[in-house]
Every structure is written in structure tokens, then in C-alpha cells.
Chains A and B, each alone.
Chain A
Amino acid sequence: MNAIDSSGLISSLESADPQLLALFGIGIVGGGYSAAKIARAISTSYPSSCPYKPTHESYPDDKPDVAQEVITVTVLPVFKEGFNTPDFRLPTSFDTRNITINLPAIDAQTMADQFKQGLQTRPIIDRLSGNVVGEITIDGSRVIRYPHSDRGTPFPHWNLEDKINDTNLHVIIK
């Protein structure tokens, strides 16, 4: 379904994918998040008339130790501003397991909460320090790493890992 018209605005809330709407901070999310779902939502809603063409980003030169390709998709500010920024980047394919999005802190927290789909979780404890570094659902299917920075995503971000679909969503806190 195409929920966005050629001007980049949402044309029909009724027809829009709730996963996509959630990225805009609109509507009620059902079914939870996964990188695959978000990628699918973005891909089905990408308007062909958008002046900024998708760019498939990888870092073979400056990040030689990062095996997986990292895709950056700046979502919220772009859609809210109607594609007014050239920072809008979409992957040309969605077969990579790591996807990065940028969200305000409160939306990142909301996304992390909804990622759990209401499932009970257990804290993940670092065995060196005893600190809690994340949480995992009781069924082991979803792993949340609390905000941190690493070489692949050198900004404070959450990792939301879906172990069933083998996806890892990097939510950068703006």
C-alpha cells in the first residue's frame, strides 16, 4: 500500500501501514516492530516522485571491521517536513540485518517499549560490572541493548534485536 502521496504527505490514515505511521509518531501500533517490518513499511510507502533517490550505504573503507552493511534511514524529520531535506536515504534492498533510524529520545524510548510487544522481560546483566545493560523477553526472541555508542553506530543508540527474524534495529537518539 502507498500511504504517502507525491508531495510526501500521508494521504490516507486508513490505508497507511500502522508500522509506518508509528514511525511518524501517528496512530496506534499493532504487531510490534522489527527491522524487516519497518523496512517493508518504508519500501511500500516510498513515493516514486520523491526528488531524493534512495542511496544504499555501506562502509567498506572506513569501517573495515564491520561485516554487516549499515543502512541509515532518517525517517521522522523527513516525513514531518515533507521531504525537505536531502538527508533522506533509503536502502535499495532490505536484505541486510542492520538498519539504523534516527528518533527523538522520547520516540526512541517508545519504540523500545513497543518492541517488547507487552512481553515480560528479564534484565541483562554485564558479568564484569554487574550493571544492567539491557533486557530480553522471557521467550528469548527480542533483545534490547540500552543506549550506547559503538564503532558501527558512533552515536548514542538503542539496539532492538529480533532474533527470530534475525534483524537488528539501531535507534539513534537525536
Chain B
Amino acid sequence: MKISSFYYIDYPDSLPTDPLFASSEVYVEVSGTDGDINNFDLTYAFTVCTIEFVRRSLSIEHFFSARSVVVVDRFDDHTIKNALEAILPKINTLGLLK
């Protein structure tokens, strides 16, 4: 199993201006080893946000809630790719199947 592609719904063609304060729904397309960007098995959705985003939400709202959350220290491609690959073996239980 591998990640054939992933993309940010809230930053579809860019990265957030402040990588320490960001949150986005992230779609992750997963395939077998022979899959590719347009031939894959399943799509999962996550809420990926930074710890600073959670901290400010707690400060203002006194709670934070979202489905299938992945918290990162920085919102950048490298960090998020590593996080998604780390949870890939459990993605069917952690991710929201689209």
C-alpha cells in the first residue's frame, strides 16, 4: 500500500503563508504498489492542522474538535507526507473514507 497522491482542500495550489498556523482538510489517495495518480483504490480525508492552530482554538473557543485529526508542528509538504506515511498502516481506521 502506498500514497499515490495527497492534496490540500484549503490550500489547493499553495501553502499557507504561516506554516506554524494552518489547518486544512487533506485528501489522501491510496493505492497498491502498482497504482498511480489516476489509478488508485481509496480516498481518505483528514483534518491536518498545526499545534499552534489547536492552541489558538483552545485559547479562543476553549475546545478543539474535528474528524480524523492529524496534528503537525509545521504545515509543509515534507512534514505532512511523513505524517501520512507513518499512519498509512492504520489509515482505514484513522481516516474518513470518502
Contacts and interface: CB of A to CB of B under 8 A. Distances in A.
B92 A65 contact: yes
Interface string B39-50: 111110000000
A152 B42 contact: yes
Interface residues of B, number: 24
Interface residues of A, number: 27
A124 B13 contact: yes
Given A149-B39, A150-B41, A143 B9 contact: yes
A127 B9 contact: no
Contacts of B98: 168
A143 B41 CA distance: 19
A1 interface: no
Contacts of A135: 12
B71 to A, nearest CB: 18
Contacts of A134: 7
